[in-house]
Amino acid sequence: MTLKTILAAAALGAVAATATLAEEVKIGIAAEPYPPFASVDASGTWIGWEVEVIDAVCAAAALDCVLTPVAWDGIIPSLTGGQIDAIMASMSITEERMKTIGFSDAYYNTPTVIVGDKALDLDATPEGLKGKILGVQASTIHQAYAQQYFTDAAEIRIYQTQDEANQDLVAGRIDATQADSIAMADFVSTDAGGCCEIKGTVADDPAILGQGVGAGVRKGDDDLRASLNKGIAAILADGTHAAITSRYFKASIY
Amino acid sequence: MTGWRAFMQPHRLFLMALFGGLILWCALSLRWDWLPEYAPLALEGLWRTIWILVVTTVLGFALAVPLGLAQAVGPWYLSAPAKAFCTVIRGTPLLLQIWLLYYGLGSLFPQFPWIRGSELWPYLRQAWPYAVLALTLSYAGYEGEVMRGAFASVNKGQLEAARAFGMPRLTMFRRIWLPQAIRNVLPTLGGETILQLKATPLVATITVIEIYSVSSRVRSDTFIVYEPLLLLALVYMIIAGIIAFAFKKVEDRVPDRPRRG
Amino acid sequence: MESLLDTLGLSQSVQLLSLSPPGWGGNLLRGLANSLQIALGAFGFGLLIGLFGAYGKLYGGPILRDLLAIYTTVIRAVPELVLILILYYVGSDLINQASVAMGYGRVEISGVVAGIWVLGVVQGAYSTEVLRGAIQAIPPGQLEAARAFGMPPLMTLRRVTIPAMMSFATPGLANLWLIATKDTALLAIVGFSELTLETRQAAGSTRAYFTFFLAAGALYLIVTLFSGAIFARIEKWARRGQPSLKEGNR
């Protein structure tokens, strides 16, 4: 997907072309690996489901996008501070975040699960986690959810990246971790993740867990939001979304 | 009180008024409504920070004494490893050392299942032992280098005099050499301790809950960015001020070092 | 050789560290280049601040002196990590607001520039102190002689002050340079792809935490030892023509 093809596509759709075309749009992604959605490979390029979706959305919306890795923990301040123009880093659309930033329409949605050591008897309820150590990634819906529902039952440890929580789960320092079901399904299928299994899906709470993953934009940046919505709608309609998904996952994640 | 009068010059009053205004503006127009809710957690974090600081400086200093001694007068098989240790600690970022200890060692656990059965496991599972270890080694590395110079600069004549009186070596070390070496490093010790204070927030990256991680928590819960960070900076400045003041007091009580002839 | 590596269980590590994919060595070296670039920029920017700061502290008016005292005290009392976060967010926010207010629209701030700005401001406080001490250590007679011959101030700075203070400032500056290289690691926390973050990514993707953290440590150590040797030469050069300072110059 070179610049030329994007420009050519934009020229063809000149009727709908907007003034945002010429400007570079910095898409913020989490700098820490989050497979299978976004991670760096050995040659230093970003790969993964979400990276491909970003490419497709930008192409469909005729945006000139640049991937900009930012620390996950500071990704919202980076957006409001102007280092990036949009967040596409598996960020769930929640009411709490909507107070600070705006969101596009959702482009995927998955349930939240608890993964634990195979040898341990636990499940995704406060009773099931009693006396256990639960690891979550900082600044995520999982941290908010765990603090809301599991604080009294379990000891909660907060990690900067999900990767490090997984690492400590393998090391046995924590008994379980709460995270997105797809990322976890990917993790337990690896060699290292062989220690552990998905113990169950947590009870839904849309107020905390949100309504799917969308692209975050600055409040008032309605042009960009409209463009991204257009791009998301386009790749959902023309099958690009499904085609990318089928290369990574068995079932649809929309 | 002349010092105080010299301090109160007209332009200082103006500057103070300016800063007073700035602080007032911060207090009134920034958001502080999160403060009551997080105050207990912040106090707990503050306590943890101070605890880590005190424990690691004391342990680190205790380790720095033999490191400095080995480098100053030890035989090569002691001085070479001590020197290598100090070089490695001072030559690599502390953040990397902390991650190596915590995640690096952690990645070895699954290969040795017996570790989980051992009596140390409840400690190895937690994060603070690694934080204490990493910060202790770091302080020892930096201070060991300082102690080397301090031991080397103790007046040789005094040591010779002690030996001439037949003082046992251990007594000589305890009564003459170590006290004078410590007096030599005292002026730098306060600065080194403040540097150690500034290193403590790094342990937040391995899930230790101290004052810095409380501010991160406020940021991630409420999306308020500047206010917790500004308050955090103020807290560190106050602690650093207390450390500097305390070391100044101790230094004043110690008699001046004798002029070298 | 290979059998030796095998018996030590190191062949896997060697493979992981090889320079071309599937090895991650190339990524680490790229990270190292970024780290050095930021460290060099920050060191230079810090020196610039330090030179002005030192002059301000020595010859400036009372207000400037007090402001500089506040700057150096605050920077040296607050952890670099906290300063980096404050400067990183506040800095770009302020620049953007100013530029929007002046009608230019949002400015693009590259990661490298932001890193240099953030670390440079921190370095500047330490440089100020190092350079101030060095300028004070110049025998006053030399500066007085320059003034007596009617040398203009800038020329005095260039021809007398800077060369004369070099020998006093080099050890302190060498130390600052090492701090600059190590402080770039803190930028990993705000997501710059410098050596420590690249290491973290490689370690996370391969689960070979030990291998990669050790390798990165070795790279940092090489930089340290190498720059130590260079600064020793600079110091020797700066001291040329001076009597040996080895004996008790405390």
B230 CA to chain C: closest CA distance, Å? 8
Q: Which residue of B has its CA nearest to C177?
A: B91
> Does the beta-carbon distance from A83 to C27 stay under 8 Å?
no
In this structure, the answer to whether residues A123 and A239 fall within a common structural domain is no
CA distance C183 to C75: 14
Q: Are C30 and C20 in contact (CB under 8 A)?
A: no
DSSP secondary structure string for all residues of chain B:
-HHHHHH--HHHHHHHHHHHHHHHHHHHHS--TTHHHHHHHHHHHHHHHHHHHHHHHHHHHHHHHHHHHHHHH--HHHHHHHHHHHHHHHHS-HHHHHHIIIIIHHHHGGG-THHHHSTTHHHHTSSHHHHHHHHHHHHHHHHHHHHHHHHHTS-HHHHHHHHHTT--HHHHIIIIIHHHHHHHHHHHHHHHHHHHHHHGGGGGGGT---HHHHHHHHHHHH---HHHHHHHHHHHHHHHHHHHHHHHHHHHHSPPPPPP-
In this structure, the answer to whether residues A127 and A216 fall within a common structural domain is no
Q: Within an 8 Å CB–CB cutoff, is residue A111 touching chain B?
A: no
Q: Which of C164, C182, C207 is nearest to C123 (CA)?
A: C182
Give me the percent of chain A exceeding a pLDDT of 70. 91
In this structure, the answer to whether residues A204 and A124 fall within a common structural domain is yes
Range of the domain at A171: 112-209
CB pairs under 8 A between B and C: 117
Q: Are C35 and C184 in contact (CB under 8 A)?
A: yes
Print the SS3 string covering chain A: CCHHHHHHHHHHCCCCCCHHHHCEEEEEEECCCECCCEEECCCCCEECHHHHHHHHHHHHCCCEEEEEEECHHHHHHHHHHCCCCEECCCCECCHHHHCCCEEEEEEECCCEEEEEECCCCCCCCCCCCCCCEEEEECCCHHHHHHHHHCCCCCEEEEECCHHHHHHHHHHCCCCEEEEEHHHHHHHHCCCHHHHEEEEEECCCCHHHHCCCEEEEECCCCHHHHHHHHHHHHHHHHCCHHHHHHHHHCCCCCC
> According to the model, what pLDDT value does residue C247 have?
47
Q: What is the CATH number of the domain that holds A229?
A: 3.40.190.10
CATH topology of domain B42-253: MetI-like fold (1.10.3720)
pLDDT band at C18 (very low <50, low <70, confident <90, very high): confident
Superfamily grouping for domain C26-238: MetI-like (1.10.3720.10)
Tell me the one-letter amino acid at A123: D
Whether residue A254 is contained in a domain is answered as no
Identify all chain C residues contacting A39, using CB atoms and an 8 Å cutoff. Answer: 201, 204-205
Q: Within an 8 Å CB–CB cutoff, is residue A69 touching chain C?
A: yes
CA distance A165 to B115: 20
Q: What is the pTM of this model?
A: 0.88
Identify all chain A residues contacting B126, using CB atoms and an 8 Å cutoff. Answer: 173
| Strand A112-117 versus strand A196-201 pairing type | antiparallel
Q: At residue C100, does pLDDT exceed 60?
A: yes
CA distance C154 to B50: 48
CA distance A224 to A236: 18
Q: Which of A134, A157, A173, A175 to mutate to test the interface with B (most CBs of B within 10 A)?
A: A173
Structure tokens at C145: 């002689």
Task: Spell out the domain ranges in chain B.
Answer: 42-253
CA geometry: angle C72, C75, C78, nearest 5 deg: 140
B239 CA to chain C: closest CA distance, Å? 9
> According to the model, what pLDDT value does residue B257 have?
57
- A226 conformational bin, left if phi > 0, alpha if psi -120 to 50, beta if neither: alpha
DSSP secondary structure string for all residues of C95-156:
HHHHHHHTT--PPP--HHHHHHHHHHHHHHHHHHHHHHHHHHHS-HHHHHHHHHTT--HHHH
Distances (CA, A) of A87 to A69, A189, A213: 10, 28, 10
Q: At residue C6, does pLDDT exceed 70?
A: no
Q: Are A27 and A69 in contact (CB under 8 A)?
A: no
Burial code (b: 16+ CB inside 10 Å, e: under 16) for B128-157 equals: bebbbbbbbbbbbbbbbbbbbebbebbeee
Q: Which residues pair with A108 in a beta bridge?
A: A213
In this structure, the answer to whether residues A177 and A194 fall within a common structural domain is yes
Query: Rounded to the nearest 5°, which phi and psi values hold at C105?
Result: 80, 180
> According to the model, what pLDDT value does residue C154 have?
87
Q: Which of B85, B54, B98 is nearest to B197 (CA)?
A: B54
DSSP label of C161? I
> According to the model, what pLDDT value does residue A98 have?
93
Q: Are A28 and A70 in contact (CB under 8 A)?
A: yes
Rg for chain B (alpha carbons), in Å?
23
Nearest to A143 among B116, B126, B220 (CB): B220
> Does the beta-carbon distance from B88 to C217 stay under 8 Å?
yes
ω into residue B66 within 30 of 0, thus cis? no
Q: Which position has the token pair 């005290």? A: C73
Q: Are A125 and A190 in contact (CB under 8 A)?
A: no
pLDDT less than 50: residues of chain B: 1, 260-261
> According to the model, what pLDDT value does residue A17 have?
36
Q: What is the pLDDT of residues C134-186, one digit of tens each?
A: 999 888 898 899 989 999 988 888 888 888 888 889 989 999 999 999 999 99
> Does the beta-carbon distance from B202 to C63 stay under 8 Å?
no
> Does the beta-carbon distance from C86 to B106 stay under 8 Å?
no
pLDDT less than 70: residues of chain A: 1-22
> Does the beta-carbon distance from B127 to A157 stay under 8 Å?
yes
Burial code (b: 16+ CB inside 10 Å, e: under 16) for C217-240 equals: bebbeebbeebeeebeeebeebee
In this structure, the answer to whether residues A182 and A121 fall within a common structural domain is yes
CA distance C45 to A16: 47
Q: Which residues pair with A106 in a beta bridge?
A: A214
> Does the beta-carbon distance from B207 to A159 stay under 8 Å?
yes
In this structure, the answer to whether residues A205 and A215 fall within a common structural domain is no
CB contact set of B56 (below 8 Å; sequence gap of 6+): B132, B135, B136, B139, B196
Q: Within an 8 Å CB–CB cutoff, is residue A200 touching chain C?
A: no
Identify all chain B residues contacting A164, using CB atoms and an 8 Å cutoff. Answer: 103
Q: Beta-carbon neighbour count of residue A5 at 10 Å?
A: 10
> According to the model, what pLDDT value does residue A240 have?
95
In this structure, the answer to whether residues A239 and A222 fall within a common structural domain is yes
> Does the beta-carbon distance from A99 to B223 stay under 8 Å?
yes
> According to the model, what pLDDT value does residue C110 have?
73
Give me the percent of chain C exceeding a pLDDT of 90. 46
In this structure, the answer to whether residues A141 and A19 fall within a common structural domain is no
Q: Are C86 and B226 in contact (CB under 8 A)?
A: yes
Total domains in chain A come to 2
C190 CA to chain B: closest CA distance, Å? 12
Identify all chain A residues contacting B221, using CB atoms and an 8 Å cutoff. Answer: 144, 147
> According to the model, what pLDDT value does residue C21 have?
75
Nearest to B198 among C80, C210, C213 (CB): C80
Q: Which residues pair with A201 in a beta bridge?
A: A113
CA distance A178 to A124: 9
> According to the model, what pLDDT value does residue B187 have?
83
Burial code (b: 16+ CB inside 10 Å, e: under 16) for A207-243 equals: ebbbebbbbbbbeebeebbebbbbbbbbbbeeebbee
Query: Rounded to the nearest 5°, which phi and psi values hold at A214?
Result: -130, 175
Q: Within an 8 Å CB–CB cutoff, is residue B171 touching chain A?
A: no
**B touches which chains (3+ CB pairs under 8 A)?**
A, C
Identify all chain B residues contacting A134, using CB atoms and an 8 Å cutoff. Answer: none
Nearest to A41 among C21, C92, C114 (CB): C21
Structure tokens at A1: 């997907």
Nearest to B15 among C63, C217, C248 (CB): C63
Q: Which residues pair with A65 in a beta bridge?
A: A25
Mean pLDDT for chain C overall: 86
Query: Rounded to the nearest 5°, which phi and psi values hold at A46?
Result: -85, 130
Provide residues of C within 8 Å CB-CB of chain B: 62-63, 66-67, 74, 76-83, 85-86, 89-90, 178, 182-186, 188-189, 196, 199-200, 203, 207-210, 213-214, 216-217, 220-221, 224-225, 248
Nearest to A171 among B107, B213, B217 (CB): B107
